[in-house]
Structure 1
Amino acid sequence: MYQLTRSVMFDAAHQLRDYPGKCANVHGHTYKMVVCIEGEKVSELGILYDFFDLKRLMQEEIDRLDHHFINEIVPYNEVNPTAENMAYQIYQTFQHQLAAQNPQLNLVYVEIWETPNCSARYSQN
């Protein structure tokens, strides 16, 4: 089984609703989104999936979030914009998009880093 990962950085602000601590205040992060896909076969060129195509898959979501107040973006206007919820929501979006583009590939996980030391990862396994 082959696996590819791609990471993209973006900056955004958020606040955690009903949180009993500092994160209840509006604050920002330089986020890192990491996406991992897998598949059993590479092409004749030795490529599982073009890194450029993986970046394009991620870019629409990055454009929605980058330099925005995440709490105002669907679904985070109703769901607390925690790293865990972001990883889950982005996973759901990418899973459908990847299946439509290339059903031979599986989305392994989406990981959201809020700081260099703190991340949340969602996978279905």
Structure 2
Amino acid sequence: MGIYSVTKEVRFCYGHRLMNHPGKCRHLHGHSVKVAVTVSAVQLNDQGMVCDFSDLKQVVADFVNQRLDHNLLLHEGDPLVPMLRDAGERFWGLSDHPTAEVLARMVHDHVKEQGYPVEEVVLWETDEAYARYRE
């Protein structure tokens, strides 16, 4: 028996830094990224689809727009967090380091929580480098 899958891509921008990184990623910097969410099913729905592309896009875009797009993502232990909070700046202090791998998992988990059969999430941090998450 075969498996059907569809993939939807969403683009967004974010800033971050990786405190424990030995290289230049320990400094504040930003990325324009693409995330691709693939959902799969053994059977198609009554419309002959795994799911509607626009529905999948909306679920991904809602999370991206609320939490990730044009946001500064930092580890909650980053010494910048209190200063940003005091200044009223937008940021998200994560319990994990804000790597491409962690962001891919976060998008995966959100889409899955919305009831979609997520196969994998791929997040391109650059045109040449990406992280993949699947259960």
Q: TM-score, normalised by structure 1?
A: 0.85
Structure 1 residue aligned with 2:48: 46
Asked whether 1:66 is paired with 2:83, we answer no
Q: Partners of 2:47 and 2:58 in 1: how far apart?
A: 20
Question: CA-to-partner distance for each residue in 1:59-106, whole Å, 9 max, x for gaps?
Answer: 1221021111122315x2x3110001111222222212125xxxxxx2
Q: TM-score, normalised by structure 2?
A: 0.79
The percent identity for this pair of structures is: 33
Asked whether 1:22 is paired with 2:24, we answer yes
Q: CA deviation at 1:43?
A: 3.2
Aligned positions, number: 116
Moved over 3 A (4+): none
Query: What is the aligned-residue RMSD (CA, Å)?
Result: 1.4
Larger Rg: 2
Structure 1 residue aligned with 2:88: none
Q: Partners of 2:118 and 2:47 in 1: how far apart?
A: 22
Q: Partners of 1:29 and 1:39 in 2: how far apart?
A: 32
Q: 1:113 aligns with which of 116, 124, 133?
A: 124
Residue 33 of structure 1: SS of its match in structure 2?
Answer: strand
Unaligned runs of 5+ residues in structure 2 are 75-90
Q: Partners of 1:10 and 1:23 in 2: how far apart?
A: 19
